Structure formats: structure tokens, C-alpha cells
Chains A and B, each alone.
Chain A
Amino acid sequence: MKKFDLSKIISLDTFLSLIFGAVVFVFFAFLYPFHLNYQEQYQLFLYTSDYFLDFFGKPGGIANYLGTFVTQFYFYSKIGALIIAFILTFLQRVIYSASQKLEAKSFWIPITFVPSLLYWNLFCDENYLAGGMIAMLLLAASINGYIRINSTKWRIVSALFLIPVLYWGIGGAFLFFTLFTIANELIKNEIDKKQVLVFSAAITVLSLILPLIAKAIFLQYPMGKFWVGVNYFRYPVNVPLSVGIVALLIFFIPLLLYFFSKKISIPKTHYILFVQLVIIGVGGFSFIRNSADFSKEEVMAYDFHTRMRKWDRIIALADKSNPTSPLSVTCLNLALAKQDLLSNQMFSYYQNGTAGLIPDFIRDFTIPMMAGEVYYHLGLVNTAQRFAFEAMEALPDYQKSARTIKRLAETNIINGDYEVAKKYLNILKKTLYYRSWAKHTLEQIKDESLISEHIEWGWLRKVRIDKDFLFSEAEKENMLGLLFTHNPENQMAFDYLMAICLLNKDLQHFVNFYPLSKSLDYKVIPKTYQEALIYIWELTNNDPTKKISYPVSDEATKRLHNYKRIYSTTRDAKSLNKDFGDTYWYYLHFNK
């Protein structure tokens, strides 16, 4: 039988690159997909000349534009993962190729993975933006292209041409290209030292004056921004040093490998390759594992499913692993309410007070977005609109948000503000993923009956109140009470009203508000309410001959008696949790 020889089909370097790309893809597609969805929602890529010109008019704008272009595809996380895998692999290939051109030995290939690995690590933080990765790729590609020009004259001409172009395209990272061209001419030794000096001086001066010229022409930025250019990080005031290290490595690795190959003689190359692979593999694994924040990924998963109204998936996630962060619990409670399960099952899951029911507003782009979802589905459309707007305007990188623009279109439609809704829909019409929805909705709003009969908008319009009532975080109970009394079919408003009382351990208000449920005409009182009612009854009733006026099941009563017996003797949270962890009583006594 003929021996299988993989090297005849695929070279080792290609094989390693493919493996790396596959691992990156698997990571983002299956382990970290919701980070990509999260990124997509906080930008709005428009297919318009104005949008392009807005980017094009600034140094580093091309990289930012391409970054936002690729980020729009993160809507489908697998496509996003494929793009990231491709770019990071391509970055490695370009660096490897540049090293090869400088006659570096191929067994040094593992080192060429380092910049990609570092950028993968950065991408584990949701605030690192794709434009930075594109800038690194363009820097590497320029270096690679430059060293492939054999003619010294054309190489120098191309450097003089590429430096301003690169500055415009990738911002301050172009300085590493300038440094590389100087180093390359020193290595090549094709022109005399004096000429190298003149060339170096010329391109250094050119590089240093470019940001000054840009500042004189464009009046939008502080000086620091002219030196950095690209939005590597969502917070423009922060200039991440880590990106500078990646850029430095892109400049440095081909030169380093050239030096190694020329100056160090290594007999056992297979051994060196193996050691490098082990270091890069093991080191890279632990590096990424430490960088990845799976608790954030969990919150983002809950948020994404909330955005997509996949309530069953949220509950399935919680069944798999009980969420503990307030924002995940917020999404879970919303999903339970939407599936009419909140009043029966909310204490089957971890609850962390009202912060996990309706988070308070803060000036931030994440929490108002999630809290706004709750207000939207409750029927507090004005508040949902405000929270969506505030979340978008809190974005520090001056972007608009596709998710928010869509929500603003929806809330304005529900409120009958069609002209405002049209503006948002016209914007969404210029996107890739929201275009068809926007077009369809623009047709829908021409016919009032289609909106009134719309399963979601029609309902939210029905439960809306026309009379002014000012929003107050401290008066959530009053708002929910008004909402429910205005429309007694709005069971979700009632469930949230009850949930607030229960989570606040405010039994007095629970008892006061509970009679409002008469309009809901329960055949069986939901489990949680039964637990609260019977507990309050036993706490306040001194006459054993009297019976509770609500139809509470015997099983609930029996369970409470068992609970009381153990609680009064041991007060041990652990043992009670086993049999009573899903009860309101357990929450009442043991939730801090």
C-alpha cells in the first residue's frame, strides 16, 4: 500500500494557516458568536455616497469604512466568524510571505502567527472594532508589496507615493511602513549610505508633516486623533497600546526572521519548528482562554435572543445554566413573561431583585437597550423609545445603531408618528440586512389597518395610554398599575407589577394590588402568587377557623407548612434550597 504523503497535497505552511483559520472560525462561530451580534447592532453601515465620504474625509477613514463594512455581516455570526478567520489568516499569510521574500527560513513560520493571535485576543473584547484589524492587514500588505518591487528607483518612488496614501487609509499605523522602508533599504544595501540617509530623512519628514497638513485642512479632530486615525477601540479617547504592539510586530517580524535566518545557523530545524508550534499553540490557547469573557458572552446571548424575540431559546439557555447577571435575568424574566410563565416559574430561576426585572436607567449604550426591550413589550412605548434613543446616543464612537434605528421606527409607528418613522425606515432602506424589512414596513404604514391589526404593534398601540404620566424610576409600580388598569388584558403589566412587589419583598403592596387580577379571571392562581398569598395569610391571620379567601391549592399550603417546619428549626439555606429553591418563600428569606 502506498504511503499517504500530505506534503504532496498541501505545504506545511498552508496547512498550518488553514488550521489556524479553522480554529478562529470555530471559536467565533460556536464559542463566541454573540460578541459578533453585539458588535453589529452598534453600527449602521449605509450604502450611500454620503456615508462613504464621511469616512473618506478623515485619515484612517478607509480602514474604518472597511471595518464597518465587514461588521455589518456579523448580523449572521457564522459569516462574521468566517470573515474574521479569513482576515486573521490572511494577515498571517501576508507576514509570512513578506518574511519569505526577505529570505527567512520557512521553519520560523509559527512566529508569523503572533500578530494574528494578538488581534484575535483583542477581538475577545467587544469594544475593539474591525477597522483596526483591517488597518493592520493593509499595513502588512503594503510592507509585503513594497519589498516585492525589485527596482530600487521604483521602490523609492512607491514609498513616497504609498506613505501619504497609507496615512489616509490607515491613519497613524502608516509610520510602521515608513520605518520598514528605511530598514529595508539598509538591509538591501543597494544604494549607498548617503542615499539611504537622504531617503530616510525625506520620508521621515514627509511622515511627520502629514498629520500636521491633515489637521490644517480638516477641522474635526484634536491632534491626537490625526496621529491615530483609525477607530481601533469604541472609546476614541482611549488609544490602545496593544494595537501599537501588533503594528510593531507586523513591522518587526519579517526583519527579525530575516536576521535569524541570516545570522543564526540551526541544524535541527524540525526540532525548532516543533518547539515554536508548542509554544504558540499552548501559549495561544491559554492566552485566548484568558482573554475570552464567557460571562459577557452569556449576557450577549440573552440580549440577542431578546432582540430576535426568541423567547423559547432564552428559557432553554436558562434551563441549561441558571443566569446570575442582572441583565441576563432581565432577559429571562421578559422571556418568561412573554411566554406567560413569569407568574408560575420566576422563582424556579435565580432572581436578583428588581435590577433583574427592569434595570434602572444609566447613561450607557447597553443597559438602556435591554431595559428598553422590557418597556417596549410591556406597552410603555414612550419609555422604550427614549431608552433606545439614549442607548444609541451614548455610543462613544459617534456611530448610529441599526437595532436602535429599527426600534425607533417601530415605536414611532405604534405612536402614529409616521413621518418620523419614515425617516428611520428610509435610513434602514440603505442597509443590507434591514432593507427588505424597511421597504415592507414603508408599504405597511400606508395602510392604517395593517398597523392596527399587526400582531405586535397593534397590541402595543391598544395598551398605550394617551394621558401624560411622567416617567420615574421610583414609580415603576404606579406606571405598571396604570398600564394594567387602563387595559386589563395586559397581563404582562400585571405580572411585572406583582413581580416588583415580590422581588422588593413588599408584601403589603402585593396584597393591595393583587385584587386587580380579578379581570384576568384565573382558573388557577399562578404558583408564585399562591405562595405569596398563603404566606401572607398565615402571617396575618390569627383565627385558625378562618380560611383564606383565595382558592389556594392544598399542595401549596402543605408545602408551606413543610417549609416553615424546616425553616423554623434549621434556617439552613442549602437544605431548603433542595426542596424549596423554586418558591417565593426561599427568595424571601434567603435572597440578600
Chain B
Amino acid sequence: MGVPVTIRLQEADFDTAREIAAMSAGRTDVGAVVSFSGVCRGGPDGDAIDGLTLEHYPGMAEAEIGRHVAEALARWPLMGVTVIHRHGRIAPGENIVLVVTASSHRGAAFEAAEFLMDYLKTRAPFWKREERAAGANWVDAAAHDDAAAARWTKS
């Protein structure tokens, strides 16, 4: 039986608790479930972010996430992977992304979740546009995100 993999791109919000619970529901082999939630920040006072619009490349986004999930499955002994990424308009406090990984022990689940997030940040075709009182701006890519992704390719 293959490892259960869920990849969803959607405009609607999702229920984080339900997604985490589903990872171990009805089975007794899972010993560790790790989740990462990416949430829209409101920004500091004086530089408040009114919301985000996430543009994505339909077709490629699913394919690219699928390739990284396949790589994670090859590198760690995982028992389940869920990746949900929203697109469209997202208000401060709302979910943007969820990664859930399951394994028999925590090490693999933690590492695979971090690997998937580092690649989602730098390789999955999504672009954030931040809305502020002064106007909307495309978010610049962060060099520290590239560095975070690059460490997974070191020997």
C-alpha cells in the first residue's frame, strides 16, 4: 500500500485540526505527526498589512509540490504527507499554507516538514502581493529562504 499523500490548492480556508487528526485516524503505525502552519501576518503598527493576494501558476504549482513530496518520500520513511496551499485573497490571521508529515518517529517527520516548507518557499510557483494603506506591492524573495532550501542539497 502506498503512503497516503494529499496535495490541495484552494481559495477556501481549511481546518488545520481536522487535517492533523486525519493523518493518524484509523491506524496504529504512526508515532509522530508534525505540522507547519503558515499564517498571514498583520504587520507592525504603522506598517500594517491589510491582506495578501496570492497568485499561482495552475498546473505547475500542483506538479512542483508533487515533485517535492515525491522527493521527501524517497528521503525519509514517511507514513503520510499533506500539503495544502491557498491562493487568492487572504486576510491577516488567516491560514496560507499547511504541511503535515507522519512517520513512526519524530526525526523524519520534523525534517521532511521543514524540507517541504523550504522548497515551497523557493520553488513552488506562488507570488505574494501585500496590501497596505499606501498601496500594494509584490513581496521580494528573501535570500535567507534560498539559503534554507540550499542546505538540503548539501552532501
Tell whether A and B belong to one assembly.
no
Residues of chain A having any CB pair with chain B under 8 Å: none
